């Protein structure tokens, strides 16, 4: 069992004032250029950037904490997207095309850095060094999905930098696909499925609550979000054996990514989500881990976001 206690902090998405407020509420104080706690270590779940107004300020807070070992972190899908948005392929095109949709998703970060574009590119290079997951004494951390098959494919590859030169070839390897899965989770096509997402756009892909057991389940039961909009289709039988749920005997796991509109509480006795929607104004969330093997509802701490 670890003799270090940790505070696992959810998706920040450019909300620097909420991060500052949460760190201070947790007892972290700024010493020199970074926040520290006398007895604890922060663990960031990823998604530092995009959506909120202060991505640049967030990175000036979290990066020194990680570099000075007062915090750990894993890569989020928004950091992965930023790397691809700013990296050209062999053909000269960007790995994440600069479509209106992709640019809009990254717009808040670009505006936050303004004329300091070189600073952003420096952070993008740093993103490549962040681990995809943490398997610490007593608990695990991943941004979106703990998939044992994907993790087995990675072997000794723990960061994007381990893939070498990032291009259309290296980002299409089984290892790169495994990395994307850990950051983004499972989305599957269900024939005939059509439902509106929160933006009113029709979707045919189902964002899967992979921690649930899919045996004899419906698509609605296996949906992470927007379940009320999803028809009661049977979950594809050929995929039911793929999703057997997060095992009850597995170590305590912390995830983010899903921006769940729920009260702070474990999803399973040994699984907790710490992304409860800071961008939606539901507060920045942390979990104070003190060595327990099962998640405790009382261990969640929130700081209400100051931005709508």
The reply to whether 308 falls in a domain is no
Asked if 230 and 131 sit in the same domain, the reply is no
Asked if 166 and 56 sit in the same domain, the reply is yes
Q: How many domains does the chain have?
A: 2
277 DSSP 8-state letter: -
R_g over Cα of the chain: 19
The reply to whether 93 falls in a domain is yes
Asked if 97 and 200 sit in the same domain, the reply is no
Final residue before a domain boundary, out of 217, 242, 267: 242
d(CA 260, CA 177): 25
d(CA 251, CA 2): 13
Final residue before a domain boundary, out of 242, 267, 284: 242
Asked if 194 and 176 sit in the same domain, the reply is no
The reply to whether 226 falls in a domain is yes
Q: For residue 190, what pLDDT is reported?
A: 86
Q: Any residues with CB less than 8 A from the CB of 172 and at least 6 apart, and which?
A: none
Asked if 204 and 118 sit in the same domain, the reply is no
pLDDT digits (tens, 9 = 90+) for 102-115: 999 999 999 999 99
The reply to whether 260 falls in a domain is yes
Range of the domain at 87: 5-183+245-303
Asked if 124 and 235 sit in the same domain, the reply is no
pLDDT digits (tens, 9 = 90+) for 179-217: 999 999 999 988 888 887 776 778 888 999 999 999 999
Say yes or no to pLDDT of 300 above 80: yes
For residue 2, what pLDDT band results from cuts at 50, 70 and 90?
A: low
Q: For residue 307, what pLDDT is reported?
A: 44
Asked if 104 and 230 sit in the same domain, the reply is no
Question: Could you tell me if 299 and 276 are in contact, meaning their C-beta atoms sit under 8 angstroms apart?
Answer: no
Asked if 109 and 56 sit in the same domain, the reply is yes
- What global pTM score does this model have? 0.95
The reply to whether 295 falls in a domain is yes
d(CA 308, CA 253): 29
The residue with tokens 């000794």 is 156
Asked if 117 and 265 sit in the same domain, the reply is yes
Asked if 141 and 50 sit in the same domain, the reply is yes
Question: Could you tell me if 70 and 26 are in contact, meaning their C-beta atoms sit under 8 angstroms apart?
Answer: no
Asked if 279 and 194 sit in the same domain, the reply is no
Q: Any residues with CB less than 8 A from the CB of 186 and at least 6 apart, and which?
A: 145, 147, 207, 208, 210, 243
Final residue before a domain boundary, out of 202, 220, 242: 242
Q: Any residues with CB less than 8 A from the CB of 1 and at least 6 apart, and which?
A: 137, 138, 291
Domain of 156, CATH number, reads 3.60.21.10
pLDDT digits (tens, 9 = 90+) for 164-178: 999 999 999 999 999
């Amino acid at each position: 069992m670890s003799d270090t206690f940790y505070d696992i902090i959810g998706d920040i998405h450019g909300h620097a004032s909420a991060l500052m407020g949460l760190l201070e509420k947790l007892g972290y104080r700024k010493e020199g250029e970074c926040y520290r706690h006398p007895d604890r270590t922060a663990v960031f779940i990823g998604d530092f950037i995009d959506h909120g107004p202060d991505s640049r300020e967030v990175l000036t807070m979290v990066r020194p904490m990680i570099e000075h070992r007062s915090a750990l972190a894993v890569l989020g899908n928004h950091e992965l997207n930023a790397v691809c948005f700013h990296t050209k392929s062999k053909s000269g095109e960007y790995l994440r095309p600069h479509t209106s949709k992709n640019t809009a998703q990254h717009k808040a970060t670009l505006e936050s850095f303004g004329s300091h574009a070189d600073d952003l590119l420096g952070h993008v290079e740093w993103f490549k060094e962040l681990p995809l997951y943490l398997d610490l004494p007593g608990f695990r951390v991943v941004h979106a999905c703990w998939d044992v098959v994907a993790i087995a494919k990675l072997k000794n590859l723990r960061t994007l930098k381990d893939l070498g030169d990032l291009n259309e070839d290296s980002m299409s390897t089984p290892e790169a696909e495994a990395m994307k899965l850990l950051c983004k989770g499972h989305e599957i096509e269900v024939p005939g499925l059509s439902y509106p997402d929160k933006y009113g756009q029709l979707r045919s892909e189902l964002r899967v609550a992979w921690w649930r057991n899919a045996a004899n389940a419906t698509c609605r039961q296996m949906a992470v979000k927007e379940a009320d909009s999803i028809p009661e289709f049977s979950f594809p039988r050929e995929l039911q054996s793929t999703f057997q749920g997060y095992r009850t005997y597995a170590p305590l796991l912390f995830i983010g990514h899903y921006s769940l509109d729920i009260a702070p509480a474990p999803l399973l006795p040994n699984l907790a989500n710490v992304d409860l929607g800071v961008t939606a104004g539901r507060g920045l969330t942390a979990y104070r881990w003190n060595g327990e093997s099962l998640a405790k509802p009382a261990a969640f701490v929130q700081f209400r976001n100051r931005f709508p």
